[in-house]
Amino acid sequence: MNPAQHTEYFSPGRGAHLVFVGAPGSGKSTVGSLVAERLGLPFADVDSVIEHRTGQPVAEIFADQGEPAFRALEVATTVELLRQPGVLSLGGGAVTSAEIRDALRGHRVVWLQVSVGQAARRVGLNEARPLLLGNVRGQLIKLLAARTPLYAGVASITVDTDAHDVDAVVDSIVASVTELGQNVATDAVTTIEVTAERPYQVLVGHGLLDRLPGLCGDQARRVAVIHPPTLVGLAERVVSTLAAAGLEPVRIDVPDAEGAKTAAVAANCWSVLGSAGFTRSDAVIGLGGGATTDLAGFVAATWLRGVRLVTVPTSVLGMVDAAVGGKTGINTPEGKNLVGCFYEPAGVLCDLDVLQTLPVADLVGGLAEVIKCGFIADPEILRLVQADPDGVRTAGSPVLREVIERSIQVKATVVSGDLRESTSTGSQVGRELLNYGHTLGHAIERREHYRWRHGEAVSVGMVFAAELSRLAGRLDPKVAARHAQLLQLVGLPVRYRAGVLDELLATMALDKKTRGSTLRFVVLDDIARASILEGPSRELIAAAYDSIAARPSP
């Protein structure tokens, strides 16, 4: 399956969905059909569709074939109906199926909340079985206790139906969706699929943190939230959301940035998980920039040989690069990322609202990877950056969102084709494509003792790689020149000091040991057409370096 990208809007005619969930007696069918009527959208009720198709009432299917057979039919029907535009009302127990909860991601889900007393009254009245009220009430108490966290995990709108009559409930839902519908750009949730051993989705949108409980898996009870001190407020919000959904969150505050990526910090996380009694079925959330998600991934991969991992990247670099693709790791005194493993997350949640607090310099650092994605795979990114450089530097802008989504799509496509970085051989470029600009970039980072941001070093490294491509006679000089233009436009550095090439080459030679015996550079033959330049001559490298070396000031 190829990675696919689909954006859902709440707007008629665009494959949109408003999905109603809730306990028996919450009024899903009544409210759902009235809301659909008011919005002029088609309406379907999953149970009614099943009854119509099988010619049997749901209760009879339960009795004749058993609950598992009914649930299987329910999953298939729900998934099918979710692909069609309109308003859909699910069965009361639908959220107990993990497949349905997964299928609901990216849809606008309305949870109609109802108390046991009210639900029992409505069910009793509807079914005209007042004598069963005692039993119905007992069953409802059990059902609501088990399902409340599941409803909370999938809902993006929650409406209390107890205190209001049907008309008032319908009014409030119509008002909230039409208000959101006016701002399609911020209301949409984009889902990007990553094909892996266990495929997963990257969700991008605003206000998505409330979806975290739903991503923790139906088995999880305890959830560790690993975060840096800078994000303690956000972590506390996440912890309350998880607790409200009936989970047992454990907050683990780790040092900021690279300070988190050490064996000592990982060991500390393991001991917190151990003391809290984390089992195989519990989950770890990495909430932070790339450093935090790299550490959290490593901890999740190693605890009990692997527990569920959800990454919530909070930096642009984390969203477009670190949190997607399954590489986890920590540093050792000998170098960066020397210890780690491939471990895919169960889901990645990119809530664009969290970027509001990201320092601009960090945001701009992440744009180097965005522009890289433009050059290696998606020229539209380059056009967008050129057309609105201020916009892409601004958290909350639609253009930043678009370039982030496009970059995640590029990364998803590349890693889906080469999960373990193994198909890059000879002149064939697999996942190594993502290393465009990184060979020199890594050497600069190291020479600067990691005081430069990763993206800043990669920015210079890309200008160098483009020069190398041009001097090797592969790349049009205009395309090479466009690198420095675009990177400078957003405020990234494009030069590095003169006279240190030998030092940098020595570092690159060390780096290359991880790959083979000759120095390899990812170069471009054109935009979106990369290849490998293996063992270029010292003269060629020196000439390319010369064109990026900072001239001493007069």
Q: Which residues are catalytic?
A: 305, 327, 369, 411, 421, 431, 435, 438, 442, 454
Any contact of residue 25 with ligand NAD (CB under 6 A)?
Answer: no
In this chain, which stretch among 85-93, 313-321, 472-480, 517-525 interacts with ligand NAD, using CB under 6 A? 313-321
CB of 237 to ligand NAD, least distance (A): 12
Question: Residue 458: is it exposed, middle or buried by C-beta count within 10 angstroms (0-12/13-18/19+)?
Answer: buried
How far apart are alpha carbons 319 and 408 in whole angstroms? 7
DSSP string spanning 33-67?
Answer: HHHHHHHT--EEEHHHHHHHHHTS-HHHHHHHH-H
In this chain, which stretch among 62-70, 322-330, 457-465, 516-524 interacts with ligand NAD, using CB under 6 A? 322-330
Any contact of residue 191 with ligand NAD (CB under 6 A)?
Answer: no
**Interface map 473-512 toward ligand NAD (x if CB under 6 A):** ----------------------------------------
DSSP string spanning 191-237?
Answer: EEEE-SSS-EEEEEESS-GGGHHHHS-SS--EEEEEE-GGGHHHHHH
Residue reference for tokens 């522009």: 371
The interface with ligand NAD within residues 53-82 (CB under 6 A) comprises none
CB 203 within 8 A of CB 211: yes
What are the beta bridge partners of residue 496? 549
Any contact of residue 325 with ligand NAD (CB under 6 A)?
Answer: yes
* Residue with Cβ nearer ligand NAD (101 or 454): 454
* Residue with Cβ nearer ligand NAD (153 or 288): 288
CB of 348 to ligand NAD, least distance (A): 12
CB of 457 to ligand NAD, least distance (A): 11
Any contact of residue 153 with ligand NAD (CB under 6 A)?
Answer: no
How far apart are alpha carbons 200 and 151 in whole angstroms? 21
Any contact of residue 290 with ligand NAD (CB under 6 A)?
Answer: yes
In this chain, which stretch among 8-16, 27-35, 52-60, 257-265 interacts with ligand NAD, using CB under 6 A? 257-265
Any contact of residue 256 with ligand NAD (CB under 6 A)?
Answer: yes
Distance of CA 204 to the CA centre of its chain: 6
Residues with Cβ within 8 Å of 464's Cβ and at least 6 positions away in sequence, in order, are 437, 440, 544, 545, 548
CB of 365 to ligand NAD, least distance (A): 6
In this chain, which stretch among 122-130, 290-298, 378-386, 479-487 interacts with ligand NAD, using CB under 6 A? 290-298
Single out the residue of 292, 407, 507, 531 in contact with ligand NAD (rule: CB under 6 A): 292
How far apart are alpha carbons 425 and 408 in whole angstroms? 24
Any contact of residue 351 with ligand NAD (CB under 6 A)?
Answer: no
Single out the residue of 308, 454, 470, 520 in contact with ligand NAD (rule: CB under 6 A): 454
Backbone φ/ψ region at 421: left (φ over 0), alpha (ψ -120 to 50), beta:
left
* Residue with Cβ nearer ligand NAD (306 or 477): 306
Packing angle between helix 116-127 and helix 133-154, nearest 10 degrees?
120
H or E element in which residue 522 lies: strand 520-526
In this chain, which stretch among 11-19, 62-70, 267-275, 285-293 interacts with ligand NAD, using CB under 6 A? 285-293
Single out the residue of 101, 107, 211, 327 in contact with ligand NAD (rule: CB under 6 A): 327
Comparing C-alpha atoms, which of 300, 291, 367, 277 is closest to residue 330? 291
CB neighbour burial string for 25-51, b if at least 16 within 10 angstroms, e if fewer: bbbbbbbbbbbbeebebebbbbbeebb
DSSP state for residue 129 in the 8-state scheme: -
Residues with Cβ within 8 Å of 395's Cβ and at least 6 positions away in sequence, in order, are 352, 355, 356, 358, 363
In this chain, which stretch among 70-78, 165-173, 319-327, 475-483 interacts with ligand NAD, using CB under 6 A? 319-327
H or E element in which residue 109 lies: strand 108-113
* Residue with Cβ nearer ligand NAD (106 or 228): 228
Binding footprint of ligand NAD, residue count (CB under 6 A):
28
Any contact of residue 337 with ligand NAD (CB under 6 A)?
Answer: yes
Single out the residue of 288, 345, 437, 536 in contact with ligand NAD (rule: CB under 6 A): 288
* Residue with Cβ nearer ligand NAD (362 or 402): 362
Any contact of residue 357 with ligand NAD (CB under 6 A)?
Answer: yes
Q: How many CB atoms lie within 10 A of CB 338?
A: 12
Any contact of residue 461 with ligand NAD (CB under 6 A)?
Answer: no
In this chain, which stretch among 79-87, 167-175, 252-260, 525-533 interacts with ligand NAD, using CB under 6 A? 252-260
CB 299 within 8 A of CB 310: no
* Residue with Cβ nearer ligand NAD (150 or 444): 444
**Structure tokens given for 64:** 């004749």
Give me the residues that bind ligand NAD (CB under 6 A), please.
228, 230, 256-258, 261, 288-292, 294, 314-315, 317-318, 321-322, 325, 327, 337, 354-355, 357-358, 362, 365, 454
